[in-house]
Amino acid sequence: MTQAFDYDLLIIGAGVGGHGAALHAVACGLKTAIVEGGVMGGTCVNRGCIPSKALLAASGKVRELRDAHHLKALGIQVVGDVSFDRAGIAAHADMVVTKQRDGLTGSLKRIGVDVIQGWGRVLADQKVGVTQPDGSEKIVTAKDVIIATGSTPFVPPGCTIDHTTVFTSDDAVRLETLPQWIAIIGSGYIGLEFADIYSALGSEITMIEGLDQLMPTFDPDIAKLAQRTLIAPRDIETKTGLLAMKVTPGNPVVIELADAKTKEIVETLEVDACLIATGRVPVTKELALENLGVELQRGYVPVGDYLNVVKNGQPIAHLWAIGDATGKLMLAHTASAQGVAVVETICGRPRTIDYNCIPAAAFTHPEVSFVGLTEPQAKAKGEAEGFAVNSVRTYFKGNAKAIAEGETDGMAKVIFRPDNGQLLGVHIFGLHAADLIQEAANAMGQKTPVQELAFSVHTHPTLCEVLDEAFKRAAGAGAGH
């Protein structure tokens, strides 16, 4: 380390992005500190991935045990009612959060990362001011600074949050109440996951989506199938093309819905509770990046390919940003992968991220996952760049493991270039889809063509064979001319 600096690397924000960067920095021999103004672990650990997956795990078991028809097919009968304790499920989620947070904090301590409590802002190049809990300001210098300040729920204007009857996922993960009728505004993965949780636990749901179709970011075939399995047979009413213009907390919660095109109020709903799941916005205002002349883009920190913060189109030396604050595929594993990439670049091994190869999943029952392009996106790219696009589908209903589990709803869709076998996108809906997608993500990352994937040996009988069959079918469907 150059003696002039307190640290080699200072990270602002101890979420998964900051944590991943810190672990890798220490492994690379950098003297590292991390600044955290809120709770260690950030969104993922405290208000995101971890508590939501704990709630999905518990509520999923309730759904399974209450599905007498499914159990009977396996020769099982549950005698009497299946009951659950809301507070017990909430305590389970809280326990998992505490365990993960303690693990994360302990791992930083063990490897000698200094944790500085307080809110950081960038004062000048390589210089950060931290407002500590007692109000005093600490100045910290570092050769390199990473911004990893994450995101927070977006609440549309007109929606008032009271944290009890109208709330975002920040409150929902605590499962403090179980409303009889809840409106969920937004059908992205957060809205879908909570619809899965609430419907399993017996709530009636009205899902409201501003666009004309539900799950607008999914491949259309997958969205259609997911709607048939995750929405239609459950106690979920859907309303598309409607915007929540005003949400007023209380008993009841009053929601004024407008036509998304005309913006005229067309309907008023009265429900017991409302979850606002309309996306997330970056937490960047307090960083004072204007001190360096950086212009935020819709609140996101502008970055280049190597994740340098950019000013007037030029990278600023020694200032980097990662995770949700950059707005690129806002997922936990993106944030930590970006953190590792920045540390590699700092250490003289420049590394970029191929966002097209990052898998994503919704942990509904069954799960949805994907990597790469949807079919319409692939076709548009093919048209623009002059190549043909083909796709194949295989179904869980023909898979031995899925049949044994009695979980045969599902499909894998592989989108590829017939001229060279290159994978363009893979989409899976079905049991353990979130685990299954990794093989496709690795194949895309390594640019393995479908003709080669068709020869990779898959364990029998496993759900992976759904993809095995799809790769074989793709190889036989005109790939590799």
By CB under 6 A, name the binding residues for ligand FAD: 12-18, 35-38, 42-44, 47-49, 52, 119-120, 148-151, 169, 190, 283, 286-287, 323-325, 330-333, 335, 363
Three-state SS letters, 342-393: HHHHHCCCCCCCCHHHCCEEECCCCEEEEEECCHHHHHHHHHHHCCCCEEEE
Q: State which residue, 325 or 423, has the beta carbon closest to ligand FAD.
A: 325
CA–CA–CA angle 65, 68, 72 (5° rounding): 110
Find tokens 């409150």 and name the residue: 171
Q: State which residue, 330 or 412, has the beta carbon closest to ligand FAD.
A: 330
Helix axes 86-110, 49-66, angle to 10 degrees: 150
Residue type, 230: L
- Yes or no: say if 161 and 336 are a contact pair by the CB < 8 Å rule: no
Smallest CA-to-CA distance from 25 within 169, 145, 151, 179 is with: 145
- Minimum CB separation of residue 296 from ligand FAD in Å reads 13
Q: State which residue, 249 or 339, has the beta carbon closest to ligand FAD.
A: 339
- CB-hemisphere CA count at 13 Å for 63? 21
- Minimum CB separation of residue 198 from ligand FAD in Å reads 13
3-state DSSP call for residue 336? helix
- Minimum CB separation of residue 479 from ligand FAD in Å reads 31
Identify the bridge partners of residue 256 per DSSP, sorted by sequence position. Answer: 246, 268
The phi, psi pair for 434, rounded to 5°, reads: -65, -30
Given 69, 92, 432, 460, which residue is catalytic?
460
Find tokens 């009988």 and name the residue: 461
- Minimum CB separation of residue 74 from ligand FAD in Å reads 29
Q: State which residue, 46 or 394, has the beta carbon closest to ligand FAD.
A: 46
Cα–Cα distance for residue pair 86/254, rounded to 1 Å: 25
Q: State which residue, 230 or 470, has the beta carbon closest to ligand FAD.
A: 230
CA–CA–CA angle 253, 259, 260 (5° rounding): 105
460 is catalytic: yes
Per-residue DSSP letters for 256-312? Answer: EEEETTT--EEEEEEESEEEE-S-EEE--GGG-GGGGTPPPBTTBPPB-TT-EEEET
- Minimum CB separation of residue 38 from ligand FAD in Å reads 3
- Yes or no: say if 289 and 300 are a contact pair by the CB < 8 Å rule: no
Residues with a catalytic annotation lie at 460
